[in-house]
Amino acid sequence: MSAGSQPALSMRGSLFRKNLMTALLLAPAALWLVVFLVLPFVAIAIFSVGERAPEGGYQAALTFAQYANLPARATAFWNTMVLAPAGALACLLVAYPVAYYLALRAPDRWRLILLALIVIPFWTSLLMRTYAWMYILGGRGIPALLAYVGIEDLRLINTPGAVLLGIVYGYLPLMILPIYVSLERLDRRLLEASADLGATPLSTFLGVTLRLSLPGVMTGFSLVMILLLGEYLIPTLLGGGKVFFIGNALVDLFLQSRNWPFGSAIAITLVLVSVVVLIVANRISTRLSGARRVDLI
C-alpha cells in the first residue's frame, strides 16, 4: 500500500474499506454454505433423534431408537461395505497398469491425447454410461449373443457382478488420474539407480515404482471409496433392486415410506463412515510419505 504519507485517520478508513470489501466478497459463499450445508446438516442431525409422524415425516422427540434400529437396514450397509471396497479394489487393479503405461511407457506425443481419452468419459453422464451397460448386459445384449452360440439362460444383469462391473466402468478414470500423477512425478533416475545396483525389473518395480506411487494409490482408492458409499444409480440400474446400497435405502426411506427420522439416522451414519474412511486414508498417506522420506535419506 502506498498510504505511508497519508494521515492516520484516512489509513484507518482504507483499512475499514479493505475489511468491508473482504466481507462483501466472502458473504455470498458464506451464506450459501451456512444455509445449504450447515443448516441442512443440523436439521438431519435433529431429525435423526426424532420420531416418524403417523402420516409420515417428522415428529419432535429425543430418542436414539432410530440409531438402535440401524440393523433393520443391515443388508444395505453390508452390501455397501463389501461392494464399495471391492469395487475400489477392482478399479485399482485395472487402473494401475493403465496409469503405469501412460506415465512411464506411452510415447510422448500420445500421452496427453490418451490421458484426455481417459478423462472424457468421467465427465460424461454417469447415468448414460450406466444405461449403456444395462443395454449390453440386458436380455437383448450379450445374453442374446450367447443364446446364439447355444449358451442359454445366463443371467448377467441384476447381479452383484453387474454392479461391480458398473462401478469399475464408472469410476475407473477417477482411479487412473491420481496414480498417473504420482507415477509421472517419479524421479526416473531412481529407476536407473536401482537397475545399476543390480535389482531385477520386478524388485525395482516393487521396491521403487510401486512404493513411490502408493500415495497416489491411496488418493484414488479413498476418492472412489467415498463416492461409492453414497452410490445409488449403479446398484439401482445394474442391480435391479436386488443389490441394495445405503443410497437405495435412503431414497426408499425419504421418498417412499417417508420415514424421515430413520433416514436421517442412516444419512448421519453414512457421513460418519465417510469421515472415518477419509481419516484412515489420511493417516495411511501420511505414514506412506513419511516412510518415503526416511527411505530417501
Q: Restricting to residues 59-118, which ones interact with another protein according to CB under 8 A?
A: 94, 97-98, 100-102, 105, 114, 116-118
Contacts of residue 221, Cβ cutoff 8 Å, sequence gap at least 6 = 88, 89, 92, 175, 281
Using the rule CB under 8 A, is 265 a contact of another protein? Answer: no
169 binding another protein? (CB under 8 A): yes
Instruction: Name the phi and psi angles at 59, rounded to 5.
Output: -135, 135
Query: Which among 69-77, 196-204, 209-217, 228-236 is the span making contact with another protein, rule CB under 8 A?
Result: 228-236
| Residue 254 sits in the site that holds another protein (CB under 8 A) | yes
- Is residue 227 within the footprint of another protein (CB under 8 A)? yes
The residue within the footprint of another protein, chosen from 8, 62, 71, 140 (CB under 8 A), is 140
Q: Does residue 224 belong to the site contacting another protein (CB under 8 A)?
A: no
- 264, 44 Cβ separation under 8 angstroms: yes
* Residue 247 Cβ vs another protein, minimum distance, rounded to whole Å: 5
Check binding of 177 to another protein (CB under 8 A).
no
| Grid cell locating 145 | 449373443
Asked if 183 contacts 103 with a C-beta cutoff of 8 angstroms, the reply is yes
Any contact of residue 258 with another protein (CB under 8 A)? no
Q: How far is the CB of 141 from another protein (least distance, A)?
A: 7
Indicate the residue among 67 and 254 with the shorter CB distance to another protein. Answer: 254
Cβ nearer to another protein, comparing 38 with 291: 38
Q: Within its chain, how far is the Cα of 204 from the centroid?
A: 31
| 289 touches another protein by CB under 8 A | no
Terminal Cα-to-Cα distance of the chain (whole angstroms): 44
Number of residues interacting with another protein: please give it, by CB under 8 A.
79
Examine residue 136 and tell whether it contacts another protein (CB under 8 A).
yes
Among 160, 195, 232, 258, binds another protein (CB under 8 A): 232
Give the 3-state secondary structure of 15-75.
HHHHHHHHHHHHHHHHHHHHHHHHHHHHHHHHHCCCEECCCCCEECCCCCHHHHCHHHHHH
Residues 33-62 that bind another protein (CB under 8 A): 33, 35-41, 43-44, 47, 58
CB of 295 to another protein, least distance (A): 26
Residues 6+ apart with CB under 8 A from 214: 182, 288
Binds another protein (CB under 8 A): choice among 156, 175, 225, 237: 237
